[in-house]
Structure formats: structure tokens, C-alpha cells
């Protein structure tokens, strides 16, 4: 960020939101003595918040949300008599919340969420009578949190206490006369019951009690009080599905112990997001379910025992963006009416009993990015796509564990532009990215992969019956590919040299086929490769070395009797065996193979959906990259 901004001494408002500014916030901004508002949200600014900002005596609004700032809140800011918005959420700030915050009597909005603040909430906060928005969630705050006192502030509208380490939260007495709030997040707070005071809250727009230990039935009165969003996921709620009032737009009950069938009255809801994943629901979906799609944008029924056919989604206009029906017992064919859902971007039908040919007709969907069909009964040959159904946006496709056969679908590879052409879109880290966590589960170790699906691309055709050779053209097309898994098919012939063109490839699994010939030496040019497996084929000759090939273990090569050289113990005839020291294996350790793709916590609680609607126009198809959703069960656990 140019320090020259500090020369614009008449500036009153400086807004640089949603850029890619990095480096420190220049201390010269302390010269802008007329500055009233500074908005640097959604950049990549690092370093500390400079104390010179405390010189800006007219300062009212300070927005630093979603950067990479470190250090504490400078005490100099506590001298700003007019400060009304202090938003430093989603950074890496540390330290305690200064008790001098009581000085900021005009403060209406305080957001320190998603940082690493520790220590107790200073009592002085409960005397900031003008506070309306208080976001303290996702820190390491300790001590007793006094929600009862916060709700005595007259104008309080929004409180987030979630995911801290409070020893307890004191709630208002059930019959106390406290402020009616609109947004309340009590996620991850060790609650064992629904707080009783909620019975007298009638204005709640958004309520989250997720990730607690609440058991029993979902109280009827709780549903009646909510307009908008209700998130009860990750608890121990039992009983059947309570049908909420029509005012609910976002209904998330995933990971509970709810059971029974889905009542047909559910279809009457005018709902945006419905997440019933990981419960014990069973039975067929009511036929009317397809009618839902006129309002529904995200649906997850994953991890239940739903049976029967997937209903038709014929009601127009279909607004569905994401649909996850994975890990159920759905059978029959995929409904062709899915092509009515033109906006679909993420589809997961994995782990069901769907019996169908490859749904090439889904290639008509212009925005489809992720198609997961693994562990079903898809069969037959994948015929060439027609010119108007080319999967123009596809980045992730999983077909593993089906019974697809014939030659590898080279025509599809040729026609997947999103896997070939690099576009600015790939680098696009959207402002609402923190609402999504895309993680890769790697042999039980979960690590953060990235904030958006962004540039991640995956083709998984493993455990099928594909035969013939690996088409040479693969090296001309899937240039952006990160993971290619062709394991356990009936592929024969050589490993094409053209694979070396796939410079982004990190994972290449060709194991358990009938490939023959030598491993092409040019593959050592694939410097992104961190997992390579050609075991159980008929390969021969010596294993190439150099670059990444110094890091692969011998299990990458076993089961090829004619293959020789390090790391196998079989020596090659004329070239001397160079032993690999254990240290040589170290570079590979840091980047293990990518196993499970998991997108969790889809819609961020606070305002996500509302912002989503607004931004849909701005970002078009990419609106989905930040819409929260639960995406899981890619591989067996």
C-alpha cells in the first residue's frame, strides 16, 4: 500500500476494499488528520496496526476486516473520542481486549471476531451503551461472558460469542425484560440445553446454536421465534423433522440424531438453504420435493438413509446452486429434469445406488464446476459429448467405483475448457471466502487447502473398467489439472510422454492397470508432482531420477517385476545402484497426496445469504464460491 496516501492530507474518506494490497498499513496515514473513515477490508495487509492511527481525532469508522494483521489493538486507538465502528475481524491479532475500550463511548460496532485474542471480556464493554453490534466469536477469550449484561444495552442488535473458551455464559433470566436482538451466535459454547430466555426473543433473524451438546427434541417455541436463519447443526437433537414456519430461509439441522421420513409439508417452505445432512432420516423423498427448487438454492441430504428415486426438478425457474444427495440409498436413474436447474454449480450424488449411463446431458449446465458420481452403478461407455453439452465450467469430476468401460473419454478431456485455460477467475479470492473452508483430508490429517475452489481441479476415474491406452492428447488438454487418478482400470500400452506437459499436476495415480514400457524420463519435468503411483502394472526398465522422482517411496513402483533402480531393491543391469538416503525422502513428506475433498460450513451465519443475493449480480456464477455448503464423503472414512 503506497505510503504516498499519507500526503493526501485533506482526505476524509479512504476506501480500498477488496483489492490485493499487501505489506503494512503505512504509518503515514496518521497524517490524515481529517480522515473520518478508513476502509481496507478484504486485502492482504500484514504487520501491526500502527499506533499513529490514534492521531486521527476525527476518526469515526475503522474497517480492517479480513487482512493478515498481527499484534494487538494499539492503545492509541482508545483515545479516539468519535470512533463508532471498530472492525478488525478475521485477522491474526493477539493480546487482550483493552479495558480502556470503555473510553470509546460512541462505539456502535465492535468486531474482533476470528482473531487470537485471549483473556476475559473487559467489564467496561458492558457499559458501552451505544453498542449495537458485538462480534467476539472465534477467539480464545476466557472467563465468564455476560450475555445478560450485553442484552441490557438498549440498542443491541447482534451478538456473536461463538467458539471461545469461556468458562460459562450467563444468560438473562427467562422472564427478564431485555433487548430484542436480531442476530445471535452461540455456536461452540458447550451448551447442553436451549437457553430459556430465547422464548421471549421474537425478532431473531439469525440464530446459531451449532456445535453444542444440546439433546432432546427441538422445542416448538424455538422455531416460532425465528425469521430467517436457524442453525442447530452438530448437536444431539432427536425426534422427527420439525417443519418450521414459512419465514425461515436457512434451515440447518445437519449432524444431529433426527430421524423419520420427510413430511410433504416441507415442500411448502419458501426456503433458500436446507441442510439435513448426517442424521438418520429415511424413506423416499416426497414427490413434491422437486417443487422446492423454485426457491431452494442449496440442498444437502447427505449421510442419511433416503431411498427411492430422486424426484424430478421440473418446477421452473429452478434456483438450485448446490445439491448434495451423497451417501444415501437413492436408486434408479438421475432425473433428466436436472437440466432445468441451469444455475447448478456443485452436484454430489456419490455413494448411492444410482444405475444409469454417464449423464453427458449434464454438460449442458453452463456453470457446473463439481460433479461427484463416485460409488454408484454408472455403467457403459462414455460417448463423445455433443457440441452444445461440453461441461464448460467443470473442474472436479469423480467417477470412481462405478462400472464405466470402453476407452478413456479423450473427447471429454478435449472439451473441458475449465481444465485447460487459465483464467483470472482461478486466482479469484472472493471477499466472502472465509465462509468456506475447503479442506483436503490426507490420510486422516486435515489441512486447509484454500479458501475457494479456485484453481483446484481433479479427475478421478479410478476403480472402473476403462481399457485401451492413455490418450496422448491428455497432455494437450488437462493443462490445469492437479489430480489425476486412473488407478484400478484395465489400461494398457505405454505411459504417454505428453503427461509431462501437465505442469500443475500434483497427484498422478496410474496403479493397478496393465501399462507397459518404460516410465518416460521427461516426467521428471513435472516439478509440481508430489504423489506418483504406477504400482501393479507391467512397466519395465529403470526408474527415472531427478527432481520430484527423488522423493517417491518404493510402494509407488511395486508390482512391476521388470522395473528396476532406486527406490526398488532390484538393481538395473548396467547402471550402478545409487542408494537413496532417508533424508532424500523428506521433501515429499510435506506435501502428501490429496485424498478427500471436503467443503464444510457452507453458508456463514451472519448475513451470508443476504449478501449473497446482492452479490449474485456482481459476481455472476462465482457467487457460489462463497455460499456455504457441506460437501463431504468423497472417500470412505
Ligand X SMILES: *[C@@H]1O[C@H](CO)[C@@H](O)[C@H](O)[C@H]1NC(C)=O
Choices 114-122, 148-156, 222-230, 527-535; region in contact with ligand X by CB under 6 A: 527-535
Q: Is 579 exposed, middle or buried (0-12, 13-18, 19+ CB in 10 A)?
A: exposed
Residue 265: phi, psi to the nearest 5? Answer: -65, -20
**Residue 523, SS3?**
helix
User: What's 323-392 look like in SS3?
Assistant: EECCCCEEEECCCHHHHHCCCCCEEECCCCEEEEECCHHHHHCCCCCEEECCCCEEEEECCCCCCCCCCC
CB neighbours (10 Å) of residue 613?
11
State which of positions 300-319 bind ligand X (CB under 6 A): 303-305, 315
Contact 30, 56 (CB under 8 A): yes
Taking the C-alpha atoms of residue 49 and residue 45, their distance in angstroms, rounded to an integer, is 10
Which listed residue (288, 381, 577, 611) binds ligand X by CB under 6 A? 288
Taking the C-alpha atoms of residue 520 and residue 418, their distance in angstroms, rounded to an integer, is 27
Residue 127: phi, psi to the nearest 5? Answer: -110, 10
Q: Which is nearer to ligand X, 270 or 427 (CB)?
A: 270
Which listed residue (188, 233, 254, 560) binds ligand X by CB under 6 A? 188
Which listed residue (542, 556, 560, 633) binds ligand X by CB under 6 A? 556
Phi-psi sector, 308: left (phi>0), alpha (psi -120 to 50), beta: left
The answer to whether residue 236 forms part of the interface with ligand X (CB under 6 A) is no
Q: Compute CA distances 47 → 1, 16, 140, 450, whole Å.
A: 12, 17, 21, 22
* Site map 402..441 versus ligand X, x via CB under 6 A: -x-x------------------------------------
Which listed residue (208, 212, 457, 462) binds ligand X by CB under 6 A? 462
State which of positions 146-165 bind ligand X (CB under 6 A): 164-165
Which listed residue (45, 49, 52, 382) binds ligand X by CB under 6 A? 52
The answer to whether residue 384 forms part of the interface with ligand X (CB under 6 A) is no
Strand 248-252 vs strand 85-87: parallel, antiparallel, or unpaired?
unpaired
Taking the C-alpha atoms of residue 78 and residue 572, their distance in angstroms, rounded to an integer, is 73
Choices 97-105, 351-359, 407-415, 515-523; region in contact with ligand X by CB under 6 A: 97-105
Which listed residue (18, 357, 467, 501) binds ligand X by CB under 6 A? 467
Contact 535, 555 (CB under 8 A): yes
* C-alpha closest to that of 623 among 439, 452, 419: 452
State which of positions 66-85 bind ligand X (CB under 6 A): 76, 78-79, 81
The answer to whether residue 614 forms part of the interface with ligand X (CB under 6 A) is no
Q: Which is nearer to ligand X, 52 or 208 (CB)?
A: 52
The answer to whether residue 363 forms part of the interface with ligand X (CB under 6 A) is no
We find the least distance from the C-beta atom of residue 288 to ligand X, in angstroms, to be 3
The answer to whether residue 553 forms part of the interface with ligand X (CB under 6 A) is yes
Taking the C-alpha atoms of residue 32 and residue 53, their distance in angstroms, rounded to an integer, is 9
Q: Number of helices and strands (H, E) in the chain?
A: 6, 45
**Residue 267, SS3?**
helix
Choices 153-161, 239-247, 533-541, 566-574; region in contact with ligand X by CB under 6 A: 533-541
Q: Which is nearer to ligand X, 456 or 536 (CB)?
A: 536
The answer to whether residue 7 forms part of the interface with ligand X (CB under 6 A) is yes
The answer to whether residue 195 forms part of the interface with ligand X (CB under 6 A) is no
Which listed residue (233, 533, 537, 566) binds ligand X by CB under 6 A? 533
**Residue 99, SS3?**
helix
Which listed residue (17, 465, 469, 540) binds ligand X by CB under 6 A? 465
The answer to whether residue 166 forms part of the interface with ligand X (CB under 6 A) is yes
Which residue's Cβ lies closest to ligand X?
4
CB neighbours (10 Å) of residue 215?
13
* Site map 28..47 versus ligand X, x via CB under 6 A: --x-----------------
The answer to whether residue 352 forms part of the interface with ligand X (CB under 6 A) is no
* Site map 130..149 versus ligand X, x via CB under 6 A: x-------------------
Contact residues for ligand X, defined by CB under 6 A: 4, 7, 30, 51-52, 54-55, 76, 78-79, 81, 100, 103, 105-106, 129-130, 164-166, 188-190, 280, 287-288, 291, 303-305, 315, 386-387, 400, 403, 405, 462-465, 467, 485, 487-488, 507, 509, 511-512, 531, 533, 535-536, 553, 555-556, 593, 595
Amino acid at each position: 500500500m503506497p505510503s504516498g496516501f499519507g500526503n493526501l492530507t485533506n482526505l476524509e474518506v479512504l476506501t480500498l476494499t477488496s483489492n490485493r494490497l499487501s505489506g503494512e498499513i503505512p504509518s503515514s496515514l496518521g497524517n490524515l488528520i481529517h480522515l473520518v473513515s478508513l476502509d481496507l477490508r478484504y486485502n492482504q495487509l500484514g504487520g501491526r496496526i500502527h499506533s499513529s492511527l490514534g492521531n486521527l481525532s476525527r476518526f469515526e469508522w475503522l474497517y480492517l476486516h479480513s487482512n493478515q494483521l498481527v499484534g494487538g489493538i494499539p492503545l492509541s486507538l482508545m483515545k479516539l473520542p468519535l470512533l463508532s465502528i471498530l472492525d478488525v475481524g478475521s485477522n491474526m491479532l493477539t493480546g487482550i481486549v483493552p479495558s480502556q475500550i470503555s473510553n470509546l463511548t460512541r462505539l456502535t460496532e465492535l468486531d474482533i471476531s476470528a482473531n487470537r485474542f485471549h483473556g476475559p471480556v473487559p467489564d467496561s464493554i458492558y457499559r458501552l451503551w451505544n453498542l449495537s453490534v458485538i462480534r467476539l466469536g472465534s477467539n480464545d477469550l476466557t472467563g465468564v461472558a455476560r450475555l445478560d449484561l450485553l442484552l441490557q444495552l438498549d440498542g443491541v442488535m447482534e451478538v456473536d460469542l461463538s467458539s471461545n473458551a469461556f468458562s460459562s455464559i450467563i444468560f438473562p433470566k427467562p422472564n427478564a425484560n431485555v433487548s430484542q436482538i436480531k442476530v445471535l451466535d452461540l455456536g461452540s459454547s458447550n451448551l447442553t440445553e436451549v437457553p430459556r430466555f430465547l422464548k421471549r426473543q421474537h425478532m431473531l433473524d439469525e440464530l446459531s446454536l451449532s456445535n453444542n451438546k444440546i439433546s432432546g427434541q427441538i422445542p416448538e417455541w424455538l422455531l416460532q421465534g425465528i425469521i430467517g436463519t436457524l442453525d442447530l447443526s452438530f448437536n444431539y437433537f432427536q425426534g422427527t423433522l420439525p417443519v418450521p414456519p414459512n419465514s425461515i430461509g436457512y434451515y440447518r439441522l445437519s449432524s444431529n440424531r433426527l430421524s423419520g421420513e420427510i413430511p410433504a409439508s416441507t415442500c411448502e417452505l419458501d426456503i433458500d438453504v436446507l441442510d439435513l445432512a448426517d442424521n438418520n432420516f429415511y424413506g423416499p423423498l416426497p414427490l413434491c420435493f422437486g417443487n422446492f427448487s423454485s426457491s431452494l438454492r442449496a440442498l444437502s441430504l447427505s449421510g442419511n438413509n433416503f431411498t427411492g428415486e430422486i424426484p424430478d426438478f421440473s418446477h421452473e425457474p429452478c434456483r438450485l446452486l448446490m445439491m448434495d444427495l451423497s451417501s444415501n440409498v437413492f436408486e434408479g436413474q438421475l432425473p433428466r429434469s436436472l437440466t432445468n436447474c441451469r444455475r447448478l454449480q456443485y452436484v454430489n450424488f456419490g455413494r448411492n445406488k444410482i444405475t444409469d449411463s454417464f449423464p453427458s446431458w449434464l454438460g449442458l449446465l453452463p456453470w457446473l464446476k463439481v460433479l461427484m458420481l463416485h460409488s454408484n452403478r454408472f455403467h457403459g461407455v462414455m460417448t463423445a459429448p455433443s457440441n452444445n453439452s461440453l461441461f464448460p465450467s467443470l473442474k472436479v469430476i469423480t467417477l470412481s467405483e462405478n462400472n464405466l468401460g470402453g476407452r478413456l473419454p479423450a473427447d471429454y478431456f478435449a472439451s473441458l475448457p475449465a481444465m485447460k485455460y487459465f483464467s483470472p477467475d482461478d486466482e479469484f479470492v472472493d471477499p466472502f471466502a472465509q465462509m468456506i473452508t475447503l479442506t483436503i483430508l490426507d490420510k486422516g490429517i486435515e489441512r486447509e487447502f484454500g479458501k475457494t475452489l479456485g484453481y483446484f481441479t481433479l479427475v478421478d476415474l479410478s476403480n472402473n473398467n476403462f481399457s485401451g491406452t492413455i490418450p496422448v492428447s491428455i497432455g494437450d488438454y488437462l493443462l490445469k489439472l492437479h489430480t489425476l487418478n486412473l488407478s484400478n482400470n484395465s489400461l494398457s500400452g505405454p505411459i504417454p510422454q505428453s503427461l509431462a506437459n501437465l505442469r500443475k499436476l500434483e497427484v498422478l495415480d496410474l496403479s493397478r492397470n496393465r501399462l507397459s514400457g518404460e516410465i518416460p524420463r521427461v516426467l521428471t519435468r513435472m516439478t509440481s508432482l508430489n504423489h506418483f503411483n504406477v504400482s501393479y502394472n507391467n512397466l519395465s526398465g529403470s526408474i527415472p531420477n531427478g527432481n520430484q522422482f527423488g522423493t517417491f517411496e518404493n510402494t509407488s513402483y511395486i508390482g512391476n517385476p521388470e522395473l528396476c533402480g532406486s527406490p526398488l531393491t532390484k538393481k538395473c543391469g548396467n547402471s550402478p545402484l545409487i542408494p537413496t538416503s532417508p533424508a532424500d525422502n523428506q521433501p515429499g513428506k510435506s506435501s502428501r497426496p490429496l485424498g478427500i475433498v471436503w467443503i464444510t460450513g457452507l453458508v456463514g451465519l451472519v448475513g451470508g445469504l443476504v449478501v449473497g443475493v446482492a452479490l449474485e449480480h456482481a459476481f455472476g456464477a462465482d457467487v457460489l464460491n462463497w455460499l456455504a455448503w457441506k460437501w463431504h464423503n468423497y472417500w470412505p472414512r
